[in-house]
Every structure is written in C-alpha cells, then in structure tokens.
Structure 1
Amino acid sequence: MLEITSIKDGLVIDHIKAGMGVKIFNYLKLDKVNSQVALIMNVKSKKIGKKDIIKIENSSEINYTILSLLSPHLTINEVKDGEICRKLIPELPEKVVDVLRCNNPRCITTVENYVPHTFSLINKDRGTYKCDYCDNITKLSDL
C-alpha cells in the first residue's frame, strides 16, 4: 500500500481535478524548490470520484487565485505544527492578466507581444472567461 506521510509545516492542495496536479506542479515550478514535495495522482474521492493532491513542506507564498483557474474546486490547507490551521477555497478572479492565452489567431494578443492577455469572468459556475480584446470565450475545462 502506498503511504504518504503528513507534513509538519506547509501546504496541502487537495481536491485537485484528476490529471490537473501535474499542471499545477509545473505552473508552481515545484521541481525547482528545495522543500519536500509530494504529487499524488488519481486518489479515490467520495466527492469527485478521483482527485490529485500536492503536499509542499515549508512552502513559500503561492498565488491561490491562479490555482483556482487551473482546478476551480480545489482546497488549500495551511499546516502548522502538524495541524491544519487554515482551510481556503479560492474564488475565481473577475479579471485575469497574463495567465490565460487567447486562442483566436486574429486577436491582437497573438500578434503584438507587448499587449497583455486580459480576460474577464463571464460565468463563474462554468469557469468561462472572455478575452477583453476580441471577445473570444475560454473555458477553464479546455486548459
């Protein structure tokens, strides 16, 4: 049986949509940190069927909002002295700059490198964003 021990101080990113753990791991550049990191994939979950989990010992600051873009229903547990001291469920941001990329080949952001990729939330339940320049729709499920 696989055993992943608990952490003393750090973060546990839980309820990550199965398969998105690797994307979050790469986005956070966890392969470059000096701390212990565990990426656990395809764990059975009563809530969502299967999930991924990331445990980061002695973690530094992480942009929680960005994590919600990658997996909207994840939870973040901050651990201190082996106990969960705070549990967070990040909200989707109303405005996103230079995180999402517009996939419309005619959008100014794909032609002009200096133009920031700016998106506005149009449907929180579906995780849908609209490019502020060309109105192209991006769904978080398509990431």
Structure 2
Amino acid sequence: MLTITSIKNGIVIDHIHAGLGIRMFYQLGLDKADYSVALIMNAASTHMGRKDIIKIENNVDFDVTMLALIDPNVTVNVIEDEHIVRKVKPELPERVEDIIKCKNPRCITSVEKYIPQVFTLVNRELGQYRCQYCDEIYTVGKD
C-alpha cells in the first residue's frame, strides 16, 4: 500500500473524480513547480469509489473557480501546521474567457485565433456553458 504523508503548510485539492487530477495538475502548471507536489491517482474513497488528490507543499495563489470547470465536486483545503484552516468549495463562474475551447469547427474562434474564447453559464445544475459566438454547448466534466 502506498503511503503519502500529510503536509505541514500548503493546499490539498480533494474529491477530484478519478482521472481528472492529471488535467488539474497541468492546468495549474504544477509540472513546472519548484516545490513538493503529490498527484495521487485512483485513491480509494468510501464516498466516490476512486478519486484523485493533489497535495501542494506551498501556498500558491490560483483561481479556484477554474478547478470547478474541470470538476465541480472538488474541495480545496488550506493547510497550516498540518491542520485544515479553511475549506473552499469552488462554484462555477458566470463567464469564462480563454479556459474552455469551442469544439465547433465553424465557430469564428476556430478560424480567427486572436478572438477570445468566451462562454457564459446557462445551466448551473448541469454545468453547461454556451459559446458567445456560435451557441455551442459545453458541459463541465464531460467535454
């Protein structure tokens, strides 16, 4: 059995659906980090079956709403002296720019690379966003 110890000060991103941790890892730029980072994949979970966890031994500043775009069920725990001092449950933002990419090949953003990719939230419960230019629907965690 693999054992990952606790961190003294930093951030733990927990409750990531199995397989999505690597996507968050790269989106946060943790592959270029000069501090300790642990990506735990397919860890056993009583509530989720399997989950991913990211442990960051550093207090990095990042937009937690971006994490909700990858997995809306994620929890961010801030750790100080090996204790959780704050839990953050990110919510889906109303508007997203240059994070989601439109998959419609006829969308203006597919042809004109200088135009920003802009999506607006249309259904919070389903995690659905609509492209500002072509009305293509993007579903968080599925697309």
TM-score (norm 1): 0.96
> Contact (CA 8 Å) 2:69, 2:141: kept in 1 or not?
no
Map residues 101-116 of structure 1 onto 2, 5 A cutoff.
101-116=101-116
Q: 3-state SS of the aligned residue for 1:14? A: strand
Equivalent AA in structure 2 for residue 124 of structure 1: R
> Contact (CA 8 Å) 1:11, 1:76: kept in 2 or not?
yes
> Contact (CA 8 Å) 2:70, 2:140: kept in 1 or not?
yes
Aligned residue pair count: 143
Equivalent AA in structure 1 for residue 37 of structure 2: V
Residues 1:48 and 2:51 are matched in the alignment: no
Q: Percent identity?
A: 52
Q: 3-state SS of the aligned residue for 1:13? A: strand
Q: Which residue number in structure 2 is paired with residue 98 of structure 1?
A: 98
Displacement, 1:58? 1.1
Q: Deviations over 1:92-116 (max 9, x none)?
A: 0010000000011111111111211
Q: Deviations over 1:59-116 (max 9, x none)?
A: 3101101011001100000001111110000000010000000011111111111211
Q: Which residue number in structure 1 is paired with residue 29 of structure 2?
A: 29
CA distance in 1, matches of 2:22, 2:141: 15
Structure 1 runs (4+) deviating above 2 angstroms are none
Displacement, 1:142? 2.5
> Contact (CA 8 Å) 2:120, 2:130: kept in 1 or not?
yes
CA distance in 1, matches of 2:59, 2:99: 22
TM-score (norm 2): 0.96
CA distance in 2, matches of 1:141, 1:84: 27
* Unaligned stretches of 5+ residues in structure 2: none
> Contact (CA 8 Å) 1:35, 1:59: kept in 2 or not?
no
* Unaligned stretches of 5+ residues in structure 1: none
Displacement, 1:21? 0.4
Q: 3-state SS of the aligned residue for 1:142? A: coil
